[in-house]
Structure 1
Amino acid sequence: MKVNVQSVNFNVDQKLLDFIQVKLDKLENYYDKIIYADVFLKVQNTSEKENKITEILLSIPGGDLMVKKTCRKFEECVDECISTLQRQIVRKKEKMNAHV
């Protein structure tokens, strides 16, 4: 799967890019027809500790899946996004199999 990572107003280090790639690759265990994933990383300029925003757009046949999470660390956000996408993929596959 092709992964595009875009960071807004900061540079992403290689460890975070590798972490994101590994986590997204695990989604292929649930659905092997994923075309690509767009990951958007943003930092809000607020006084709150939870100022990291992660959005993941997953392109699959029949439509896209989108998740947005706000956390203290990007790794935490990515984990939450992946678990939400995992549930969405399973639900979408069940619906597709029900129609067949």
Structure 2
Amino acid sequence: MQMTISGHHVELTHALRDYAQAKLARVERHFDHITSIDVILSVDKLVQKAEAVIRTSGAKLFAIAQSDDLYAAIDKLSDKLDRQIVRHKEKHQAH
């Protein structure tokens, strides 16, 4: 799995990058056929946003989360992606 983390109007520190990688590595344990994950962390005035695109065999999943804190936004994003990937896995197994 290839993971790309980039920042938009924010300085990506090692702590932020490691935290995002650790949280999004949880997603891979649910579904093994993930090709890549692209994560964009951004700051718009007082709103911190985290968005991600997961590419799997046969699907492209997208999620966005906003919060006052970038770490909280990453937590919300990983929860949303967990739910989406589990739903995709169930659909995939049903076929």
- TM norm. shorter chain > 0.5: yes
Give me the CA root mean square deviation.
1.1
Q: Does 2:87 align with 1:95?
A: no
Greater Cα radius of gyration, structure 1 or 2: 1
Corresponding pairs, count: 95
Instruction: Report sequence identity in percent.
Output: 29
What SS does structure 2 have at the residue aligned with 1:88? helix
Amino acid across the alignment from 1:36: S
* Residue in 1 that maps onto 2:48: 52
Q: CA deviation at 1:18?
A: 0.3
Q: TM-score, normalised by structure 2?
A: 0.92
Q: TM-score, normalised by structure 1?
A: 0.88
Map Cα deviations across residues 59-92 of structure 1 (whole Å, 9 max, x no partner): 1111111001110111111111111111111111
Unaligned runs of 5+ in 2: none
Q: Does 2:10 align with 1:14?
A: no
**CA separation in 2, counterparts of 1:73 and 1:10?**
13
Q: Does 2:3 align with 1:3?
A: yes
Higher strand content, 1 or 2: 2
* Residue in 1 that maps onto 2:37: 37
* Residue in 1 that maps onto 2:66: 70
Q: CA deviation at 1:10?
A: 2.4
**Aligned structure 1 segments of 4 or more residues deviating by more than 2 angstroms:** none
